[in-house]
Amino acid sequence: MGLLTLIIGLVVLLGAHVFVTLREQRAALMARLGNAYRAIFALVSLAGLGLIIWGFREYRAHELVQIWSPPAIMRDIMMPLVLLAVIVLVSAFIPSHIRKWLKHPMLTSVKTWALAHLLANGDLGGIILFASFLLWGGYSRAAAKRRGDIGAAAKPVPSGWTNDIIVVVLGVAIFLALGYWFHPYVIGLPVFGR
């Protein structure tokens, strides 16, 4: 039941985010619903995320299907990639040189996070979960490029490197919080240590 819940959660969350790329349909729905659109989108996204987390946790506890066993070095590759993904995610919210260089840091972050986890997870649920996010990230990046959205609304970069330092420090702090708290207690898998 966990794997099915995971897949339903992916369809709900990623389906809602694919809908965002369909600009005409989205605009029509926003015109019809007004401010309620954002609230409904947020609720649907949170429901999808909740189903993904619960389904993945249940799947790992009761239904784990190992497809292949990644070499131990993949975990060592995964960790710095996830750290990079978190720093890049933080840059999406703070004007910085990092954000300017990346054009679309949130999608870059999701794709980096998904690829890192695909490298280190060889079970069926993990492959479905992380490949889905990687494919969605690629699709969304291509859709944004087609629309001309990549870097179009870039905010000016403040002079100096203070914001970049803030992005890196916050990114490292969030990475550690995710590793020591969120991942072991919410996902059920320890990050640090073997």
Give the model confidence (pLDDT) of 133-142 as tens digits.
999 999 999 9
Number of domains in the chain: 2
Average pLDDT over residues 148-177: 84
- Could you say which of 64, 89, 115 is where a domain stops? 64
- Could you say which of 25, 43, 64 is where a domain stops? 64
Please indicate, yes or no, whether residues 17 and 30 belong to a single structural domain of this protein.
Answer: yes
Please indicate, yes or no, whether residues 78 and 174 belong to a single structural domain of this protein.
Answer: yes
- Could you say which of 64, 83, 99 is where a domain stops? 64
Kindly report the pTM of this predicted structure.
Answer: 0.88
Residue 149 has pLDDT above 80, yes or no: no
User: Please, which pLDDT band fits residue 57 given cuts at 50, 70 and 90?
Assistant: very high
Residue 152 has pLDDT above 50, yes or no: no
User: What are the Cα distances from residue 30, in Å, to 43, 83, 182, 185, 189?
Assistant: 15, 36, 34, 37, 39
Please indicate, yes or no, whether residues 89 and 55 belong to a single structural domain of this protein.
Answer: no
Query: How far apart, in whole angstroms, are the C-alpha atoms of residue 57 and residue 3?
Result: 9
Backbone angles phi, psi at 101, to 5 degrees: -65, -35
Please indicate, yes or no, whether residues 113 and 181 belong to a single structural domain of this protein.
Answer: yes
Find the range with the poorest average confidence among 54-58, 89-93, 126-130, 190-194.
Answer: 190-194
Please indicate, yes or no, whether residues 82 and 125 belong to a single structural domain of this protein.
Answer: yes
Query: How far apart, in whole angstroms, are the C-alpha atoms of residue 178 and residue 86?
Result: 10
Find the range with the poorest average confidence among 72-76, 148-152, 165-169, 176-180.
Answer: 148-152
Provide the greatest CA pair distance for the chain.
53
DSSP state of 148: T
Please indicate, yes or no, whether residues 164 and 71 belong to a single structural domain of this protein.
Answer: yes
Residue 151 has pLDDT above 60, yes or no: no
Please indicate, yes or no, whether residues 34 and 82 belong to a single structural domain of this protein.
Answer: no
User: Please, which pLDDT band fits residue 144 given cuts at 50, 70 and 90?
Assistant: confident
Average pLDDT over residues 59-79: 93
Share of the chain above pLDDT 70, in %: 95
Please indicate, yes or no, whether residues 70 and 161 belong to a single structural domain of this protein.
Answer: yes
Please indicate, yes or no, whether residues 91 and 18 belong to a single structural domain of this protein.
Answer: no
Contact 10, 128 (CB under 8 A): yes
Please indicate, yes or no, whether residues 117 and 38 belong to a single structural domain of this protein.
Answer: no
Residue 194 has pLDDT above 70, yes or no: no
Please indicate, yes or no, whether residues 8 and 88 belong to a single structural domain of this protein.
Answer: no
Please indicate, yes or no, whether residues 39 and 86 belong to a single structural domain of this protein.
Answer: no
Give the domain extent around 18: 1-64
